[in-house]
Structure 1
Amino acid sequence: MNKLTYYTGLLLLMLSTACTEKLEVENPNTPAVDQFWQTAEDAKAGVNAIYGNFYRIGGYARWIHFNYDLRSDEGYSGSPWLELQNWQKFLVVNYNFDCGMHVWLHHYQGIYRANQVLAYVPEIAMDETLKKQYLAEAKFLRALYYFNLTSLWGNVPLQLTPSEPTDLPPYATQAEDWAQIEKDLAEAIPDLPPQYSDNEKGRATKGAAYALLGKVYMQQRKFDQAQAAFDWLVTGEGSSYYGLMDNYQDNFTHLHENNRESVFEIQFSSVNEGGPDVDAPNSASGNQRSQFFGPRGVGWSDGQCRRWVVDTLLAEKTVDGQRDPRLAVSCLWDSLDPRGPEYTMVYGQPFATRYPGNNGEVWFRKYLDDYWRDFSNYYSPINFRVIRYADVLLMYAECLNELGQTAAAYPYVDQVRERAHLAKLSDIKPGLDKAAFLQQLKHERVCELSGEGTRWNDLVRWGDLDDAGKVSAIAQRDPDFENFQVGKHKLLPIPQSEMDINPHLEQNPNW
């Protein structure tokens, strides 16, 4: 989608804050609900407003990456802001801390906006096909917001109609949350197009809905249903729309966005640079990840990569004996250039000059700006790829393996490996049994997807966070997990402010 079109709906956004008190005096400068939902343009503006919440710091602009990447064993925080550092160390005292509170708040604001579209657009006289598409987009987006909430908190209240300040939504179990997400996606799929014109790229597609539905099924270990969802992209009609980019790095820069490997991505822009993080026409729409994950002296270095990720990628060699090319794209460290720190460039300076006597620190390089400029800020234009086709291929292989079709799973891993110029898995490790193939998949997913927000859900799905012995093994490569308590830390604490105002909520176990 044209990045500017997200903000055509910002008149609507003033209606969107369900947590403020209901006032007696109406603001004459903003339209009331009964005045707004009149035309097809209103419907589109309402849908665009749902996408608009991706730009908030609790959307995809900032904090979501701390919860997925840094809480996993791939990353950590060495931030001087100790409360931020401790959030990733499972040492949470303040249940209202920014990392959780803003994600909760801004995701529910996105859900509120989706609920408005679903409630009011059906009554608008407009083209019926376009109306169905807008309603399907709203269901997809509501499902995506709930997917993140359910993945992080587990048991979150379901709000399926436009909320009022006095609403106290009832407690819902994780199973109920997953079921609603499945329902939204299943209903969205028939009315979503497989593609859009260039000025509408970024909107939810049929492939995006199928892929998200597959992820939802996988998290519940419903592998037969997950495979069926992925079929559309991998072996069915959707296979003509997707493929792997020849150059792995093209998935993480602003130069080749919305490419054939992108299944769903957030459309960031440097437009409105300097704008506030509020609901306003001049709100910033930039990706803040590079500022917060950027190396010291350039970014805040609040998020970093564990060294074991580098070692894992170094263990792979291409067919001609070179480094796995994904390593240089995924990680920034002292020997990004094989010749060492004197030749490794970090935002225009040699690593050895910028960090003399460095102690082996590593940063996630994906989505950093160093490939095109020598500084970072809060307004990076690099789109964030929520789901890539390579991820779909590896998930598809996992489904086949779990269903006892290990031999049939090999070709999908081989596609990913061959793009990285690695030998086929079917050539170097033929005949793996189910358990051994899963262990290999765990390796493949780190090499292909590190720093992309997939690892936390992987660990959950594999059951690695439900067993004290497995957690101890994780702690060998990520000391933060020495603080991890089975039965507690797999889920975040529900913000205390929400518990205080809603007696129907139940705090997650052991918090």
Structure 2
Amino acid sequence: MKKIIILLVFITGFYSCQDQLDITNPNEVTNQSFWQNESDAIKGINSCYSTLHRGAFSRWQLMLYDLRSDVGTSNSPWSDLANAMNNFIQPDSNFGPVADVYFDNYVGIFRANQVIANVPNIQMDEQLKSRILGEAYFFRGMHYYHLASLWGNVVLQLEPSKPSDLPSNASEAEVWAQCISDLTEAASRLPKMYSDPNDEGRITKGGAYALLGKAYMQAQDYSSAKDALDYFITGEGVGIYDLVADYSDNFKVTSEFNKESVIEWSYIENPTEGTDNDVASANHNFGTSIGQFYAPPGIGWSDGEALRWVVGEFEIEKTIANERDPRLAATYLYDYTDEAGPSATMVYGQTWEQRYGTTNNRVFFRKFLHDHIRDFEGYRGINNYRFIRYADVLLMYAECLNATGATNDAYQYVNKVRSRVGLAALPTDLNQEEFLTHLKHERLLELTGEGHRFNDLKRWGDLNASLSTNDPGFNNFQAGKHELLPIPQRDLDINPNMTQNPGW
């Protein structure tokens, strides 16, 4: 059963009468009146989870990772969106869908900093206190993971911010270092599992170690990344996680929080919601709208879609039983999602042929849609976002082993992922470079549409204009500029100590 994460809004205000007397509202929650007991600490950390329901996380951030890589594109009639998300054209650094991701990550950092600053002073159960602090360190580290990935040289705010704060940018390397520090602290405090069903979806020690491994890899420290991921392979995490038998179960409402899920963000539908507003209304939107923006025409806005070249990558290799890779149908909605073709491929209650004819060759990301449970999309979707799966961990571990000269030990982890979908084991005579080539292909097929491709390309040094062969958007790509997004001008205007990213 899905668990509702409580939204906590901190409001600190002062009301002034015409006679200039300051009157304190006794019913108003302030930082001075809050943070008194264990209940406040729990509400505080729950506010960090509530950040995940804001538009940046339930919509735009995944699109930035998918569409700015070579697996996605945008044919949106909203030209500013298509240009910013796919074509590396963004003349306005304050453009809402992009700037909101930047701002919402800082909302999350502010909330985590509140917990880190105030919870240590609360008299409460020490074990619970340490766990709550671990969750807060995780969230701060995760938000800096996204900021380092997308903006690089951002401000490090490690205490609750004040209007008078005017910090300078940190370097991208310094942001990664802070991310790593926070996730290391989180991993030391978090539990392996939660015994209370009401805590389903809370971050675990495994979640912290998995994201820590990713952060080390982006920082090109493969040895430390392997040490972090050892938790799953030789450490306390052995036996907690495994691959599910059916690959598609990782993307269905009916099989959420399964044994393959390492980090999973929960989304629910509030039947009283009358708007898609995810911040300002009393009926806060706890759902996800990614389906509304990714679904095919006639169902959603289709502002983000896939590129067909990846379909061909799936078709290179047959399974041992001489069948198509089953990940293809789970990953995409297109004219041959069903191998029988457009007349057999179902798209939200109708065939592809009925909706789009037989000559439409567009392809749509399927993994976080709702076509398996209903014939519509909307702004209040309930399909959870699986941020990190155990299959990703296995492939990361194999990459780390290969990068550190242990290629012979790496095969088994890639082969486990391949075996789940019926593919033969890799040839065993690969050198380090050849193994990495195979691993890049495997990550493409296993993880496309889950928001990891952009960082993969960046880590491998493959994020460059040559990708225009498969993705015309990269015709505009400029090395030294487009690896990072522009810092919103609004921040630069109010903080003279900040500087814009190179090239912008």
- Normalising by the smaller structure, the TM-score range is over 0.9
Report what 2:69 is aligned to: 72
Q: Are residues 1:383 and 2:380 paired?
A: no
Which secondary structure does the structure 2 equivalent of 1:61 belong to? helix
- AA aligned to 2:408 is A
The residue type paired with residue 73 of structure 1 is: D
Aligned partner of 2:254 in structure 1 is 255
Per-residue CA shift, 1:282-316, capped at 9, x if unaligned?
Answer: 20110111000000000100000000111111222
- Counterpart residue identity of residue 440, structure 2: K
> In the TM superposition, what is the alpha-carbon distance from 1:239 to its structure 2 partner?
1.5
Does residue 228 (structure 1) correspond to residue 221 (structure 2)? The answer is: no
Cα contact 1:2–1:200 (8 A) shared by 2: no
Q: 8 Å contact 2:2–2:267 — kept in the other structure?
A: no
Letter in 2 for 1:129: Q
CA contact (8 A) 1:298 1:375 kept: yes
1:434-456 per-position Cα deviation (integer Å, ceiling 9, x unaligned): 11111111100011000000000
CA 1:378 to 1:27, structure 2 compared with 1: closer, same or farther past 3 Å?
A: farther
What TM-score comes out, normalization by structure 1 length?
0.94
CA contact (8 A) 1:274 1:284 kept: no
Cα distance in 2 between the residues matched to 1:99 and 1:236: 40
Alignment: residue pair count: 492
* CA distance in structure 1 between the aligned counterparts of 2:26 and 2:449, rounded to whole angstroms: 46
Report which stretch shifted further, 24-33 or 220-229. Answer: 24-33
Q: Is the 8 A contact 2:260 2:389 kept in 1?
A: yes
Q: Secondary structure at the match of 1:386?
A: strand
Distance 1:131 1:253 in 2: 34
Distance 1:312 1:2 in 2: 35
Give 1:143's aligned amino acid.
Answer: G
Structure 1 residue 285 and structure 2 residue 286: aligned? Answer: yes
Q: Which residue of 2 aligns with 1:324?
A: 325
- Cα distance change of structure 1 residues 357 and 94 upon mapping to structure 2, 3 Å threshold: farther
1:274 matched to which residue of 2? 274
Contact 1:66 1:99 in 2 (8 A): no
Partner Cα separation in structure 2 for residue 199 and residue 56 of structure 1: 22
* Stretch of structure 1 that moved more, 386-395 or 96-105: 96-105
Change in CA separation of 1:178 and 1:343 when aligned onto 2, cut-off 3 Å: same
AA of the residue aligned to 1:489:
H
Counterpart CA distance in 2 for 1:247 and 1:266 is 20
Pairing of 1:306-385 with structure 2 (within 5 A): 306-356=307-357, 358-385=359-386
The equivalent of 1:20 in structure 2 is none
Letter in 2 for 1:133: R
Matched with 2:123 is 125
4+ residue segments displaced more than 3 Å: 12-16, 24-30, 272-275
Distance 1:438 1:65 in 2: 25
Partner of 2:18: none
Q: CA RMSD in A?
A: 1.5
Report how far residue 254 of structure 1 moved.
Answer: 1.2
Where 2:388 maps in the other structure, the secondary structure is strand
Q: Aligned residue for 2:240?
A: 241
Q: Which residue of structure 1 lines up, in the alignment, with residue 487 of structure 2?
A: 494
- Is 2:466–2:474's contact at 8 Å kept on the other side of the alignment? no
Matched, 1:475 2:473: no
Q: Distance in 1 between matches of 2:359 and 2:163?
A: 52
State how far apart, in whole Å, the 1-side matches of 2:481 and 2:154 are: 16
How far is 1:430 from its partner? 1.8
Q: Is the 8 A contact 1:75 1:303 kept in 2?
A: yes
Q: Is there any run of 5+ residues in structure 2 with no aligned partner, and where?
A: 14-21
Report the residue type matching 1:208 in the other structure: G
Map 1:101-140 to 2 at 5 A: 101-140=99-138
The CA deviation at 1:49 is 0.2
Deviation at 1:279, TM superposition (A): 5.4
Q: Quote the offset at 1:25 in angstroms.
A: 7.0
Residue 19 of structure 1 aligns with which residue?
none
Q: Percent identity?
A: 50
Tell me if structure 1 keeps the 8 A contact 2:11–2:30.
Answer: no
Shift of 1:411: 0.1
- 2: CA distance, partners of 1:48 / 1:328: 36
